[in-house]
Amino acid sequence: MDIISGSDVSVHTRKWAAISLLENVTNHRKRHEKPIDDEHIPKRQKTEFFPNRHKGRRRYKERGYFLISPESLLKVYWNTLKILLLMIESILIPYVLSFNPINILFYQHVIEFIELLFIFDIIMSFNTEIYYNGILFSNRLFIAKQYIKSWFLIDFIASIPFQYIFVDANLTEPVLYISSTNTGALKFLWLLKLFRILEAKNLVYKLEDYLVSSVLLIPLRAFKFLFGAFIWTHWLSCIIYAYYARGLEIEPKLWSRFYEITLDMYLRNVYLVLQTMTSVGYGDILPITNAQHIIAIVSMCFACVLFGNIIGNIQGFIENYNADGRYYEDTARRLKKYLKINKLPSALRLRVIQYIFYLKRISKKNDQKEMGILDNLSFPLREEIFTQTRGYLLAKSAIFMSYSGSFLKYLSYQMKIEAFAPGDLIFKEGEMSSVIYYLCGGVVQIYHEATKTVFKDIKKTKYFGEIAFFLNRPRTASAMCLKFSEFLTLDRSVLFNVLYARPKEMEITNVIIHNTEKYKNLSLLGIRCYLCRKLGHVAKNCSEFIYLPNKSEAIKKAEARKYCNQKVINLNLTSANNFPRQDTESKPFVRYDAYNTFGQSFTPGTKFQNYKQIIARAWSLEGKRATALLNKRLVSIQEQSNESDSSSSSNASNTLVGLHHRSLSLESSFSASYKLTLGK
């Protein structure tokens, strides 16, 4: 089951500050920085990280000229062609000798052409390197001795052109059957060429060793099984027909089942063999002669064994096919039940199930249980395997450049495989963890925890976490997976457990840690800033892209700001009066505020003489203002009177009456003044 692509953390979900910062970094590099490739750092292959060791297995003596490697692509293609030629020859020779088709001469020419190719194969075998006891030999004399002891005799006999040595061995004319007389028996020398089919099993195994992908390996194994069943069926059909053709001279009843077309006779015999092999019975095809009864008995016994073998192979193939897939499907089913019982959120359920199916997918590519598979190998072989699969990651790391190759080989054996799902937090900024991560697949985002600003997206074959791994410091940034990711991890405790047994590497490690702590420079660890790509500092302390305030300087500026408007004067210094002024009397200080300012009283009629509308509006506002003030005063006095005792109530009423009369007089005076103004 494929993983849902929507589970990956989208770039669009990041904050704008992160995206803008990454764009600024890219533009800055294009304008000011040279690419890292210009630093002339050589890129090495996996096999070049440990040059003191031979590539592959050990070699005996010097490599000869014009020798073919047994693992070369040419040899693989030739072995594939050789398998096809063996299949064609194993089908044609029994068919031609039993059924004697009309175009028998054409089949003979095809077989002769195949024999020419096998003669060329003998020459190639003398010029191909061989493995003996795990050692690759390139000495021609040794190669020739080993080939003569193994397959040379069979290949030589099968390649003899009997038709040119014995005239009676030629397949020139089609006959009813080949007689067993002295002259006819020479034609059966063609059957000696079938002994070469014994080499087909070894060739198929070599081809399976070359193929790694299960997409090609499973069809190859299925084809091998089906062809094995077919070739036995084909040979039994040819044998049964050969005895049937001889019985035509003895029993006339057999002519009723005779067909002139060779293909019809062949298909009828194949039908008979399949009935026998599947234990169905003969039905309409019955043995008549004694020879046919004997062949029927032998074929049924042989077919019983062959049929049982076929059923057993089919059952084993079905059981082993996709066994890991069924394991993960069963695990997913049980997890679904567990999550449902505990009523966990649906989003968490989806992440868990997707992670299980991701493990199923990567199990098809590389088996997670590699330690169980490699336990059967010796420790040097396991170390050599891990050197090729993991050691190159350590050897090309800047932090491990100072260590020897043998130490890195042993350290690579201690690495572990881990997998993370999208959105999983690998570590958080500030936490104390000491694991270094080598990314084998996926994408990891390194970002600032407080602002969520993305520093870099780590991709395949890169590593991170080396500062905490060597210096045992808190994490300087946070790391989160954007996709399903695989890692090779190494813990600090594992490193020092290995270093205790290797004093030289322990001294190198202590020197690196001491100098890094002393000089406060991370360049000894090969640390490059994710933003400016310079050595010696991390991204969150980068001065080119991140503003880092200096607290001490800010404090000094704040203290100095108190005295920025003051000037120090030396009182002992006097200046000469070159231009003296006359003495003048100082005026007394007068405060021109509202309290000390006296104006001239006026009325609206005298102020706005030419604007009658304004005069009318002014007098009305003035009258309303006076009335409002008096009403407010009356309300306050009335409230006070309610709270006073009965003895003072008469005085308050008298006061109210006086104020009322006063307000009336004011209104009358305002109206009189207004009329006077209008009259003027």
The answer to whether residue 546 sits within a structural domain is no
> Looking at the structure, do residues 358 and 376 belong to the same domain, yes or no?
no
Residue of 434, 428, 396 lying closest to 412 (CA atoms): 396
The mean-pLDDT minimum among 87-91, 148-152, 409-413 falls in 409-413
Q: What is the pLDDT of residues 378-388, one digit of tens each?
A: 667 776 777 77
Highest averaged pLDDT of the listed ranges 16-30, 177-191, 438-452: 438-452
Same domain? 519 vs 376: yes
- The first and second tokens of residue 173, run together, are 């004319």
| Claim to verify: residue 340 and residue 395 sit in the same structural domain | no
Give the number of C-alpha atoms closer than 13 A to the C-alpha of residue 632, restricted to the C-beta side: 6
Backbone dihedral region for residue 399 (phi beyond 0: left; psi -120 to 50: alpha; all else: beta)? alpha
Residue 354 lies in a domain: yes
Band of pLDDT at residue 85, cut at 50, 70 and 90: very high
Which of 312, 340, 363 is the last residue in one of the domains? 363
Which residues are bridge partners to 128 per DSSP?
68
Same-domain pairing of 262 and 344: no
The H or E element containing residue 77 is helix 73-99
Among 489, 520, 541, which residue terminates a domain? 541
For residue 484, what is the domain's CATH number?
Answer: 2.60.120.10
Instruction: Please state the domain count of the chain.
Output: 5
In this prediction, residue 581 carries a pLDDT of 67
- Judged against a pLDDT cut of 90, whether residue 84 lies above it is answered with yes
The pLDDT tens digits for 283-330 are: 556 666 677 777 777 777 777 777 777 777 777 777 666 666 677 777
Greater pLDDT, 106 or 249: 106
pLDDT reported for residue 1: 39
pLDDT band at 56 (very low <50, low <70, confident <90, very high): very low
In a domain, 220, yes or no: no
State whether the Cα torsion 539-540-545-550 is positive or negative. negative
pLDDT of the residue at 323: 66
What's this model's pTM, rounded to 2 decimal places? 0.48
- State the residue range of the domain holding 674: 604-630+657-680
Among 182, 210, 238, residue at a domain's last position: 210
Per-residue pLDDT at 326 = 72
* Same domain, residue pair 169 and 257: no
Inside any domain, residue 1:
no
Residue 275: how many CB atoms within 10 A of its CB? 16
pLDDT digits (tens, 9 = 90+) for 178-229: 666 656 677 778 888 888 888 888 888 888 877 766 677 778 887 888 888 8
Work out the pLDDT band at 20, boundaries 50, 70, 90. Answer: very low
Residue indicated by tokens 């976490």: 465
Nearest in space to 615 (alpha carbons), one of 529, 678, 568: 678
Is residue 518 in a domain?
yes
Residues ≥6 apart with Cβ < 8 Å to 575: none
Give the CATH number, domain containing residue 314: 1.10.287.70
Average pLDDT on 616-641 reads 69
- Pick from 524, 505, 504, 503: which is nearest to 513 by CA? 524
**Is residue 154 domain-shared with residue 206, that is, in the same domain?**
yes
How many C-beta neighbours within 10 Å does residue 98 have? Answer: 25
In a domain, 397, yes or no: yes
User: Could you tell me if 342 and 412 lie in one domain?
Assistant: no
Tell me the three-class secondary structure of 439-497, residue by residue: EEECCEEEECCCCCCEEEEECCCCEECHHHHHHCCCCCCEEEECCCEEEEEEEHHHHHH
Asked whether residue 243 is domain-assigned, the answer is yes
Q: What residues contact 426, with CB distance under 8 A and at least 6 apart?
A: 420, 437, 444, 479, 480, 481
Phi-psi label, residue 488: left if phi above 0, alpha if psi -120 to 50, beta otherwise: beta
Same domain, 386 and 499: yes
Q: Are residues 236 and 180 in the same domain?
A: no
Q: Using pLDDT thresholds of 50, 70 and 90, give the confidence band for residue 479.
A: very high
- Verify that 466 and 344 share a domain, yes or no: no
- What is the tens place of the pLDDT at every residue in 59-83? 444 455 678 888 888 888 999 999 9
- Residue pLDDT, tens place only, 150-187: 889 988 988 888 888 887 777 766 665 666 665 667 77
Does residue 28 form part of some domain?
Answer: no
Cα–Cα distance measured from residue 179 to residue 188, given in angstroms and rounded to the nearest whole number: 10
Please report the pLDDT score of residue 6 as a whole number.
42
In the chain, the percentage of residues whose pLDDT exceeds 70 is: 62
**In this structure, are 110 and 69 located in the same domain?**
yes
- Clarify whether residues 198 and 252 are in a common domain: no
Distance from C-alpha of 466 to C-alpha of 120, rounded to nearest angstrom: 58
